[in-house]
Amino acid sequence: MKICVVIPTYNEHDNISAFVGAVYGVMHGDVTVCVVDDNSPDGTGQDVEALKKIFPSLILIRRAGKEGLGKAYEQGFREMLARNEFDAIVMIDADFSEHPLYIPDLLARLKEADVVVGSRYAPGAKIVGWSLWRRVLSLGGNFYARMITQIPLYDMTMGFAAIRSDYLRKVDFATINASGYAFIMELKNALLKAGARFSEMPITFNERLGGESKFSGHIISEGIIAPWRIRFPDRFKKTR
C-alpha cells in the first residue's frame, strides 16, 4: 500500500523538522510526506526545503498566504490524488498533539474500514495537558455537532485520519464551505455520504509542543454553523 501523509503548516518552525523525521521514522522511509505551508513567516517552508535533501520523497506545496486549515488540506488532497499513485492518504497536524507513532496502526485498520480516525473520545482514549475550559469546549462542541448532524462518531472534529484514496476522490470539495476545523466535520460527512466505512481508534492526545495554534474565534463560529449546514444542506448556499 502506497501512503502519502499530508501535513498543513503555519508557523511550525519549532516542530516541523522533528515531526517530518518522526513520520519517516515510524514508516521506515516507506512513505511520501506532503507539507502544505501557508507562507509561514517563521520560515517553516525553508525548513522543509532543507529537509528534502534528507528525505527525497518529501513534497512541499507553498501557498500564497494563510487561508485556513481546510483550504490547505484541500489543495494537498487534490495535488496528491492527481498523482494517481497513493492507495491512502493520512491527514495530521505537525504539532505532535497526534503522534506519528499511531500512523501504522491507523493504516492497519484500513483492512476493515475506508476511513480510520484517531479519536480523543473513543473508549480508551486520553487527553493530556489541556486546561479545563479547553476540555469543556471540545467535549461540548463534539456533543453539539453529533446531536445536530446525527453522525455516529465519537470525535467529529479530530483531524487525524487515514483515508482510502478511492473515497477521497468521491468528495466534491466545491460543496465544502469551511476553512477551519469545521472543514473536518464537513469532510467526514462527505465521506460518509460517499459510502465510506468508518472506524475510530483511541489515541492519547497531547497539548501541542510548540508552534502557533490555529484555534480562533472564526473557528468557533464556523463550528457553530457547520453542523446545521451538514444537517440542512439545501438551506445553505456555497459562498466560496
* Joined grid coordinates for residue 53: 535533501
Domain presence at residue 135: yes
Domain presence at residue 212: yes
158-181 pLDDT, tens digit each: 999 999 999 999 999 988 877 777
CATH number at residue 9: 3.90.550.10
d(CA 56, CA 114): 28
Indicate the burial class of 165 (C-beta count within 10 angstroms; 0-12, 13-18, 19 or more).
Answer: buried
**pLDDT at 99 exceeding the cut of 60:** yes
Beta strand 204-206 with 198-202: parallel, antiparallel or unpaired?
unpaired
Domain presence at residue 240: no
Domain presence at residue 148: yes
Record the pTM. 0.90
- What pLDDT does residue 119 have? 96
Residue 85 structural domain: 3-235
User: Average pLDDT in the 143-171 region?
Assistant: 94
Number of domains into which the chain is organized? 1
9-66 pLDDT, tens digit each: 999 999 999 999 999 999 999 999 999 999 999 999 999 999 999 999 999 999 998 8
Domain presence at residue 26: yes
Greater model confidence, 9 or 224: 9
Residues whose CB falls within 8 Å of the CB of residue 188, separated by 6 or more in sequence, listed in order: 115, 117, 151, 153, 156, 198
Domain presence at residue 23: yes
d(CA 144, CA 138): 10
Contact 32, 57 (CB under 8 A): yes
**pLDDT at 130 exceeding the cut of 60:** yes
Contact 157, 223 (CB under 8 A): yes
Domain presence at residue 191: yes
CA 188 to chain centre: 11
Residues written for the chain: 240
* Alpha helix positions (H), the chain: 16-26, 44-51, 69-81, 103-108, 132-149, 165-168, 182-193, 217-231
Q: What are 91's strand-pairing partners?
A: 6, 161
